[in-house]
Amino acid sequence: MADVHSSAGHTSHAGESHGSVASYRKGFYLSVGLTVLAFVITLSHGLSPEGTIRAIAALAAVQIFVHLVYFLHLNSSSEQRWNVTAFAFTVLSVVILIVGTMWIMANVGMNMMSR
Protein backbone atom coordinates (compact mmCIF):
# COMPACT_ATOMS: atom_id res chain seq x y z
CA MET A 1 0.00 0.00 0.00
CA ALA A 2 1.16 3.48 -0.72
CA ASP A 3 1.85 5.81 2.17
CA VAL A 4 -0.10 9.01 2.33
CA HIS A 5 1.44 11.90 4.25
CA SER A 6 -0.93 14.13 6.15
CA SER A 7 -0.36 17.79 6.87
CA ALA A 8 0.57 16.98 10.47
CA GLY A 9 3.52 14.89 9.31
CA HIS A 10 1.96 11.55 10.31
CA THR A 11 2.17 8.61 7.94
CA SER A 12 -0.93 6.52 7.30
CA HIS A 13 -1.82 3.77 4.89
CA ALA A 14 -4.56 4.22 2.35
CA GLY A 15 -7.93 3.12 3.68
CA GLU A 16 -7.05 3.48 7.36
CA SER A 17 -8.87 6.01 9.46
CA HIS A 18 -7.17 7.53 12.45
CA GLY A 19 -9.19 9.20 15.15
CA SER A 20 -8.98 12.78 16.20
CA VAL A 21 -8.04 13.91 19.67
CA ALA A 22 -11.72 14.71 20.32
CA SER A 23 -12.68 11.17 19.28
CA TYR A 24 -10.11 9.60 21.59
CA ARG A 25 -11.19 11.91 24.41
CA LYS A 26 -14.85 10.95 23.93
CA GLY A 27 -13.95 7.24 23.92
CA PHE A 28 -11.84 7.69 27.04
CA TYR A 29 -14.62 9.49 28.91
CA LEU A 30 -17.18 6.87 27.87
CA SER A 31 -14.86 4.04 28.98
CA VAL A 32 -14.15 5.64 32.34
CA GLY A 33 -17.85 6.42 32.83
CA LEU A 34 -18.87 2.84 32.10
CA THR A 35 -16.20 1.51 34.46
CA VAL A 36 -17.26 3.87 37.26
CA LEU A 37 -20.91 2.92 36.68
CA ALA A 38 -20.01 -0.78 37.06
CA PHE A 39 -18.27 -0.02 40.36
CA VAL A 40 -21.23 2.05 41.58
CA ILE A 41 -23.69 -0.73 40.72
CA THR A 42 -21.53 -3.29 42.51
CA LEU A 43 -20.82 -1.26 45.63
CA SER A 44 -24.35 0.09 46.09
CA HIS A 45 -25.91 -3.39 46.47
CA GLY A 46 -29.08 -1.92 44.95
CA LEU A 47 -29.68 -4.91 42.69
CA SER A 48 -29.98 -8.60 43.37
CA PRO A 49 -26.81 -10.63 42.73
CA GLU A 50 -28.27 -11.85 39.42
CA GLY A 51 -29.29 -8.31 38.47
CA THR A 52 -25.82 -7.03 39.30
CA ILE A 53 -24.20 -9.67 37.11
CA ARG A 54 -26.55 -8.87 34.24
CA ALA A 55 -25.97 -5.12 34.59
CA ILE A 56 -22.19 -5.58 34.62
CA ALA A 57 -22.39 -7.92 31.61
CA ALA A 58 -24.44 -5.31 29.72
CA LEU A 59 -21.96 -2.57 30.64
CA ALA A 60 -19.09 -4.82 29.51
CA ALA A 61 -20.77 -5.33 26.13
CA VAL A 62 -21.19 -1.58 25.72
CA GLN A 63 -17.56 -1.10 26.78
CA ILE A 64 -16.44 -3.51 24.04
CA PHE A 65 -18.30 -1.52 21.40
CA VAL A 66 -16.88 1.77 22.71
CA HIS A 67 -13.36 0.38 22.37
CA LEU A 68 -14.05 -1.02 18.90
CA VAL A 69 -15.46 2.25 17.59
CA TYR A 70 -13.34 4.88 19.32
CA PHE A 71 -9.97 3.16 19.70
CA LEU A 72 -9.85 0.45 17.01
CA HIS A 73 -11.85 2.60 14.55
CA LEU A 74 -14.03 -0.25 13.31
CA ASN A 75 -17.02 1.09 11.43
CA SER A 76 -19.19 0.19 8.47
CA SER A 77 -17.22 2.14 5.86
CA SER A 78 -16.05 0.32 2.76
CA GLU A 79 -12.39 0.72 3.80
CA GLN A 80 -13.07 -1.20 7.01
CA ARG A 81 -15.09 -4.03 5.46
CA TRP A 82 -12.30 -6.64 5.69
CA ASN A 83 -11.43 -5.66 9.26
CA VAL A 84 -15.07 -5.95 10.31
CA THR A 85 -15.39 -9.29 8.50
CA ALA A 86 -12.27 -10.65 10.21
CA PHE A 87 -13.54 -9.42 13.58
CA ALA A 88 -16.97 -11.01 13.00
CA PHE A 89 -15.31 -14.32 12.09
CA THR A 90 -13.20 -14.15 15.26
CA VAL A 91 -16.26 -13.48 17.41
CA LEU A 92 -18.14 -16.34 15.74
CA SER A 93 -15.22 -18.71 16.32
CA VAL A 94 -14.96 -17.75 19.99
CA VAL A 95 -18.72 -18.15 20.50
CA ILE A 96 -18.65 -21.60 18.85
CA LEU A 97 -15.68 -22.59 21.01
CA ILE A 98 -17.29 -21.41 24.26
CA VAL A 99 -20.78 -22.79 23.55
CA GLY A 100 -19.33 -26.08 22.27
CA THR A 101 -17.17 -26.46 25.36
CA MET A 102 -20.10 -25.77 27.67
CA TRP A 103 -22.28 -28.26 25.76
CA ILE A 104 -19.62 -30.98 25.87
CA MET A 105 -18.96 -30.42 29.58
CA ALA A 106 -22.69 -30.54 30.38
CA ASN A 107 -23.05 -33.83 28.49
CA VAL A 108 -19.98 -35.31 30.18
CA GLY A 109 -21.38 -34.28 33.56
CA MET A 110 -24.77 -35.82 32.82
CA ASN A 111 -23.24 -39.07 31.55
CA MET A 112 -20.96 -39.43 34.55
CA MET A 113 -23.79 -38.80 37.01
CA SER A 114 -25.91 -41.58 35.54
CA ARG A 115 -23.43 -44.34 36.45
Could you report the per-residue pLDDT of 53-110, keeping only the tens digit for each?
999 999 999 999 999 889 988 887 888 888 889 989 999 999 999 999 999 999 998 8
User: How many independent structural domains does the chain possess?
Assistant: 1
Q: Each residue of 8-31: pLDDT tens digit? A: 444 455 555 577 899 999 999 999
**CA torsion angle for 44, 62, 97, 80 (degrees, to 10)?**
-160
Q: Is residue 13 part of a domain?
A: no
Question: pLDDT-derived band of residue 115, with 50, 70 and 90 as boundaries?
Answer: low
Residue 46 in any domain: the answer is yes
pTM: 0.65
Residue 47: domain span: 19-72
d(CA 94, CA 88): 10
